[in-house]
Chains A and B, each alone.
Chain A
Amino acid sequence: MPSNDPPIFRARDIGFVYPDGTTGLNGVSFDVPKGDRLALLGANGSGKSTLLRLLSGLSFPTTGTLEAFGEPLTEKSLEDDAFSTAFRRRVQPVFQDADTQLFSPTVEEEVAFGPLQLGDPSRAASAVAEALEGMSVSHLRERAPYRLSGGEKRKVAFAAVLVLNPEVLLLDEPMTGLDPRSVGALLDALDDFSSGGGTIVVATHDLPLLKEMANRAIVLSEDGRVARDASVDDILADRPFLESHNLAHIHRHHHGGEIHTHPHEHGWEGTMS
């Protein structure tokens, strides 16, 4: 739905160069309006994670400008405590590696970290209880995060982030390595978040889940440029495009005695389309 608010993010001609000199991103420009469900697509190495880090305010572009909520998002602007607190309350990343996201001795302390730092400490305890309930992990509150299963870790990471009631979620490959039930739970959580007015930016190369999570996609090419910015439906319908950007593959199939090839993706239900 079109909105008159300024876009959550405005990226103009973003470039990013790694410390060893390789180019991560090149001339990337896009807007993220409020309420969008945007996917960042691209093969490994195309810069999706880097772009998410830029949107999270954890790294900063080498060239170009990035604005969040109408204000420039730079290292300097985040030095101002007021601005950085406001920004961090509204924008929360969920990292690919759950282990780095969970650094507290217990799940309860983990989820409490954000509210204690950013919110009202006196309300922290009740907010934590609510968030744990919401992700169905209340029974894990005294456990050490590093001892949990992959799915549990991911749910705790979500709880730790949702407890802050952010406006924007930035997710990096959120479903990697999860069992079907966990995937279902997380998809539901994202759905609730989105229908509550939240904005989602998710980086992935997992096509089957794409339609569940996003309505728009930006495809990054292997040299870090924007190859396409369109609706998910349009992109998924364009097979040659998918193949040329390493999003779908061709390999040999053995059917009975026959061997043939055709382009397809593997669905996580085990079906092929």
Chain B
Amino acid sequence: MASRYRKALDEFGAMLGVGWDTERSARLAGWLQNRDPRCKAVAALALLITVALVRSPATLAVLYAFCLFVTATSRLSVTRLMRRAWIAAAVFTGLIALPAVLNVFTPGPTAVQLPFGWAVTTTGLTTAARLLLRALTSLHVLWLVVYTTPWNRVLAALGSLGAPAPAVVTLGITHRYAFLLTRMAGEMMASRSARTVGHIDGARNRAQITNAAGTLLLHSHHSASAVHGAMIARGFTGRFRSLEPFRATWRDVVLVLLALALSFAAWSIDRHAF
């Protein structure tokens, strides 16, 4: 049992290494990085809604290509983000999209005949393509914001947009300690298997894992309380503040307008052409 957990943790650790690297890309000198996070959020929201409303895979593909283009222009690694998005879309949307190609779920003209009376239908392919492209494009739009905005600025932006302080604070602390916990969990599992010789029966195993989980909680709590204390000592009362105040310039307004225009264009073209 433990080895399965450890393997899962290793995988997540690898993913985490990828997941927490946004700080680096957020500090590069790209044009998106310099935009006001609040305007980026509004622009992204408009695009996300559009992606959800658009029906034709062709329109979605165009939107996706546009995202890739924007990625390249802002000093982000297109290949890295593409790979991440494809993997995530495959994992989380793949099993939803794949069975939908079959005539059992989506009747329609046959594209590929399969044994046992099953077939891949053209309508099924459309449905699957739609789902996958939506997943890909949504992720990419999201990451255009996430990879170009330092996390502290995100929290400050949320606060200035009116999000309640406890929600923002919890988000901040969770972000920090999710990373710590997973790393500590991996280390505990590693050291535990290093100290274990032979086979442990199920009940002892579960007890050990539970104790490990509990101890992990206590360790992390100790750290979390200490950091919280340090923040309180320096005057923290719930609002995250940035050295650079948020200032929306004309460039940011243009960004929002462009996003809205693109959204409207995509939606109306999609509506009329398909």
Interface size on A, residues (CB 8 A): 35
The reply to whether B243 and A124 form a contact with Cβ atoms under 8 Å apart is yes
A97 on the interface (CB 8 Å rule)? Answer: yes
Q: Which residues of B contact A101 (CB under 8 A)?
A: 230
Q: Which residues of A contact B227 (CB under 8 A)?
A: 100, 103
The reply to whether B236 and A93 form a contact with Cβ atoms under 8 Å apart is no
CB distance from A69 to the nearest CB of B (A): 16
> Per a CB cutoff under 8 Å, which of B150, B226, B234 touches A118?
B234
B229 on the interface (CB 8 Å rule)? Answer: yes
Complex Cα distance A112/B244, Å? Answer: 11
Given contacts A116-B243, A125-B243, contact A89 B235 (CB under 8 A): yes
The reply to whether B226 and A121 form a contact with Cβ atoms under 8 Å apart is no
The reply to whether A117 and B152 form a contact with Cβ atoms under 8 Å apart is no
The reply to whether A114 and B230 form a contact with Cβ atoms under 8 Å apart is no
Complex Cα distance A82/B235, Å? Answer: 11
> Per a CB cutoff under 8 Å, which of A84, A95, A116, A128 touches B241?
A116
Chain A CB count within 10 A is highest, among B150, B152, B223, B229, for B229
CB distance from B220 to the nearest CB of A (A): 12
A44 on the interface (CB 8 Å rule)? Answer: no
Encode contact with A along B152-166: 1 for CB under 8 Å, 0 otherwise: 100000000000000
Chain A binding site: helix, strand, loop or mixed by DSSP? helix
B11 on the interface (CB 8 Å rule)? Answer: no
Chain A CB count within 10 A is highest, among B27, B241, B242, B245, for B241
Chain B CB count within 10 A is highest, among A85, A95, A142, A160, for A95
B206 on the interface (CB 8 Å rule)? Answer: no
The reply to whether B151 and A114 form a contact with Cβ atoms under 8 Å apart is no
Complex Cα distance A215/B176, Å? Answer: 40
B23 on the interface (CB 8 Å rule)? Answer: yes
CB distance from A49 to the nearest CB of B (A): 11
CB distance from A44 to the nearest CB of B (A): 16
Q: Which residues of A contact B27 (CB under 8 A)?
A: 142
Encode contact with B along A41-58: 1 for CB under 8 Å, 0 otherwise: 000000000000100111
Q: Which residues of B contact A89 (CB under 8 A)?
A: 235
Q: Which residues of A contact B241 (CB under 8 A)?
A: 116-117, 121
A176 on the interface (CB 8 Å rule)? Answer: no
B233 on the interface (CB 8 Å rule)? Answer: yes
The reply to whether A118 and B223 form a contact with Cβ atoms under 8 Å apart is no
B231 on the interface (CB 8 Å rule)? Answer: yes
The reply to whether A112 and B243 form a contact with Cβ atoms under 8 Å apart is yes
The reply to whether A109 and B243 form a contact with Cβ atoms under 8 Å apart is yes
- A positions within 8 Å CB-CB of B: 53, 56-58, 81, 84-85, 88-89, 92-93, 95, 97, 100-101, 103-105, 108-109, 112-114, 116-118, 121, 124-125, 128, 142, 144, 160-161, 164
A-B contacts, 9 of them at CB < 8 A, read A56-B229, A100-B227, A103-B230, A105-B151, A116-B241, A117-B239, A118-B235, A121-B241, A142-B27
16 extra interface residue pairs, beta carbon distance < 8 Å, beyond A93-B233, A103-B227, A112-B243: A53-B229, A57-B233, A88-B233, A88-B234, A89-B235, A95-B230, A100-B223, A104-B152, A105-B23, A114-B234, A116-B241, A116-B242, A117-B237, A118-B234, A128-B243, A144-B23
